[in-house]
Structure formats: C-alpha cells, structure tokens
Structure 1
C-alpha cells in the first residue's frame, strides 16, 4: 500500500482540527472514510499516530509524521500549480502593512514567486491609511488593510477579525503616572484604537516611542520603554498580552483585501494564493 495525497491531506486536517468530523468537512469526505484512512495509515507505518481519547491528539510518532506529511503535500500542490498555469506572467503591485508581511506573508510570497516565476511581484509595506490612499490612486493592484469595522472599506473582501491586545510589561501600568506607549505614527489604526480607548476611560498616557517600523516597535516594548497594541495572533516570541483589569478592553481589528481589476489572471492568482495561505 502506498500513501496517496488524499490520505496525507486527511491526516493533516485531522491533526489541525483535532476532530474526524471537522477533518471530513474540510476535505470533503465522510467521517467514517477519514477514520478508516487513518487506521490504514497507521497499519502501513506500523506506528500509532493518533491518541483516540475524548480529545483527539497526536502521538510523538504522529507529530514527527505530520512534518513529513506537510512537506510532501506542499510539494505536491506546488507541482500541480506550477504546471497547471505555467504561462502566467505579468506584474502585480501588492501593498500591505509591515507586521503582516513579517508575521504571515514572507514565506507565502516566496512560495508564490517560486511557483510562478514569470509573475513579477512589486511589494511595498506602509501604514494602512497610506496604503488605501495609494490604492485609490492606482499605485497598487492589491492591498491588505486593517480597520476597526469591515464597513470601513465596503468594497473589500473581509478576511478575518481578531481581538487587539495590550502588549508589554504589566509593571508599567501605574496610574500615578501616565502610561508610556509605544505606537506607530499617524495614520495608524492600532494607534487610534489605543488612544481612543484610553481617553474614553479617562486614563492618562504619554508617547514614549514612535516608529513606523514593526521591528522597532517590538524592540522598544521588549526594552521596557512602554506598552503597545497588537492583534493577538501577531504577538511575537518574548512578548505577552497584558491581562489586567486596570486596562480597558480594545475593539477587534478587521482585515480586508482590496483589488482593482477582476479580469487580470496574474492578480487573481496572487489574490487566491494569499487568501488560501492566510486562512490556513
């Protein structure tokens, strides 16, 4: 018995969802079919891959095999995509905030360039409101933008929403003194959210550090210069969300993708690739 790509995809789905039912919906098969595939896979490898308790999990062997499964399936998809539309060529101008580029899209864009080497990507990072203005001036074909509400960009494709968190050292929260903040300069959605929230709560603040660079912001917060605001899933290693009743809750942040042309195959291909990878 050989291992086919559907079995690999099913195993990856089971590992990521922790459920035969959810995995079945994800890959378009029945729950019993997924269960049978996993049993056959374990028999083939001669090792237990899954812990079948109340919560479905991976054995140590399953964790190891998951790495191989992801690599094999990724190469399979890359080969299919590469030869399915090898004629794609052109230029795509893509704008996005720096924190998204560093947290999510560096590997994604490298993979896209490898699969479609004849598509020239022109990528620029900027603050959301600057990206939107430049998008309206036709400087970009695609932009990722952050906002407070999905309706802020009514023509955008809403990708996801998540909570914003205060990030930094909790000992800096001392209401006898203004709270030191590390924020990007105007115009910045996170900056606006932080300042509006603090002012509504009557909490004094001061700007301790300001930089348009995401790396600069992270360095300043790690150095204890102040606290900042980040989406929960983008909090980097070495920093933690501040869980304190002294700070008010922040509104969720929303992310949308804006596109000019609907008939450009190169642009549409990048759009689909980015959406697929981000939603994983």
Structure 2
C-alpha cells in the first residue's frame, strides 16, 4: 500500500496521471492501475473522473492528508533504524585457533565503542560454530576456512608455523615425526594433515592437548612438533622453542566472518568487530 500512497501524493502535487508517470517513471496505465488498486483497498472513490483532468474527491483529500502523515512516519522510522545506537545482546562465536590475546583485544576494543551492547562471546571449532550459526544461535561467527576460500566474508589469512624443542636434532623430513596437536576437528590439524599428504609425512600424534600453553610446554619438553600462528611467533617464541622449516608445507587458513542477515541495529557492531579482527591479522601476520 505504501507505493499506492506515494502515487496518490504525487498525483496531488502534479495534477495529472501523465506527470506522475513521468516522475516515477512508469507508464500511464501503470499509474492508473495503482490509483484504482488504492481505491479498491480503501473501498472508496478517490478521483472524480468526470473532470478532465481528474480531481481528488472529498474522500480523496482526506486520504491524501493521512497518506502524507503515514509516509512521513515511515521515513522517520527508517531514519531511526539507520541512526539508532546498537543495543541488545550480540552473540559471537570465535574459532579456537583465533582465541588468543591479540584477537581478544581487537574484539574487546570494537565492542567497547557500543556500550549498550551485551556481548556473548564463545569459542569452538569452526565446524561447530558454523552449525550453530546456521541454526540461528549466533549473530556472528569468526571461523577458519581452507586457504583457497574466496568471498566478501574473508577477513584475511591466518598463517601457521611449526615449532619444536630448541636445539632438537631433527632427522630427515621424510622420517615420520610425532606431533602435539589439538583434538579433532581442529582446523589447524586438518590443514596440517592436508599439507603433509600422508605419504611424505604420515601424521603421528604423540599427544592431543587443546590448551595452547600446555601444547607448547609439551613441545618444549621434546614430545613432538607443534603448531602456532605465525603472527604470534613473530613477537618472539617462548624460551625453549624454535621454528622448524618443512619444505613444501603450506599451513595457511582464511579467517571468515559469518554475519546473520537479521542483525538490524547490531550490524554496525558486527562490522566493527570484523574490521578490527581483519586489521589485527594483517598487522600481526
């Protein structure tokens, strides 16, 4: 009905169907059908067609006044929705591989700009977060995808590096080596398995540990090789650890931000979080 009301207002301003058609732009028959449709919906005659050109009837003038009020209210509502400060509960999922102080600081900084938002942040494996997002349990999910993922939802690349006990004597890369990894379905572990190919470097898991600090301690004690984000290793490795270079092993993942199509006011906060996380990855990488 809004389109029909707008056409009525234009008719009152222009004085003829022909001029209204030119402004919209529509054909004259299309404008005539809109006017007739509005008359049918309101069950009243709006135009006195005995006059040339037609003129608004008394009922038409009354509907015109109300139409202007309705359209003004709709525009005011649009402006309110667009400019209103984001508020309410924002449910965000973050992949385990990204749950470090750097990313946490980026999210906290972005959320702080919206004091009326109550943040609900949870971590999980990307597959789990994706399922929860699809079920509508999350408003936003920042997950990890294969390196070849393309699309507007990609925030940047997360590169992983291999770490080992400092001073450890590593044998030929063709000899299977033990690993200290997170449990399945860890995104980094899946990427490692894909990169090794299984034939050149069979994946031997010496220990499954989810906590990153405990993983590094196991690696430091020489129980196997480990993985960590290169952006964190670039700051300096903890004592007792060293980087390992395995040729032809690409351990890259795409960081992807999934956004609900029903964010409304929360959209500004979600976009701010996505932007700051993307910047943190690029700066740290």
Instruction: Give TM class, smaller chain.
Output: 0.5 to 0.7
> Does the CA contact (< 8 Å) of 2:144 and 2:256 recur in 1?
yes
Which sits farther off after the overlay, 118-127 or 214-223?
Answer: 214-223
- CA apart distance, 1:264: 1.9
Q: TM-score if structure 2 supplies the norm length?
A: 0.58
- CA apart distance, 1:242: 0.9
> Does the CA contact (< 8 Å) of 1:86 and 1:116 recur in 2?
no
| 1:173 and 2:170 correspond | yes
Computed over aligned residues only, the root mean square deviation of the Cα atoms, in angstroms, reads: 2.8
2:180 to 174, 179, 182: 182
Misfit runs of 4+, over 4 Å: none
Which one has more relative contact order, counting CA pairs under 8 Å at least 6 apart? 2
Match of 2:168, SS state, is: helix
- CA apart distance, 1:121: 0.3
1: CA distance, partners of 2:85 / 2:197? 55
Q: Paired residue for 1:141?
A: 139
Q: Paired residue for 1:60?
A: none
Per-residue Cα deviation, 1:16-71 (whole angstroms, up to 9, x for no partner) = xxxxxxxxxxxxxxxxxxxxxxxxxxxxxxxxxxxxxxxxxxxxxxxxxxxxxxxx
> Does the CA contact (< 8 Å) of 1:172 and 1:226 recur in 2?
no
Change (3 A) 1:267 1:244: same
- CA apart distance, 1:86: 8.4
Q: Paired residue for 1:71?
A: none
Question: Tell me, which stretches of 5 or more residues in structure 2 are unaligned?
Answer: 1-82, 281-285
Question: Tell me, which stretches of 5 or more residues in structure 1 are unaligned?
Answer: 1-84
> Does the CA contact (< 8 Å) of 2:159 and 2:253 recur in 1?
yes
Q: Paired residue for 1:241?
A: 243
Match of 1:140, SS state, is: coil
Aligned residues: 192
> Does the CA contact (< 8 Å) of 1:141 and 1:267 recur in 2?
no
Per-residue Cα deviation, 1:224-249 (whole angstroms, up to 9, x for no partner) = 2211233321336314431255xx42
Q: TM-score if structure 1 supplies the norm length?
A: 0.59
Which sits farther off after the overlay, 124-133 or 141-150?
Answer: 141-150
Highest Rg: 1 or 2?
2
Per-residue Cα deviation, 1:78-100 (whole angstroms, up to 9, x for no partner) = xxxxxxx8843111100112342
1: CA distance, partners of 2:214 / 2:131? 24
> Does the CA contact (< 8 Å) of 2:164 and 2:226 recur in 1?
yes
2:204 to 206, 224, 231: 206
> Does the CA contact (< 8 Å) of 1:99 and 1:214 recur in 2?
no
Match of 2:244, SS state, is: coil
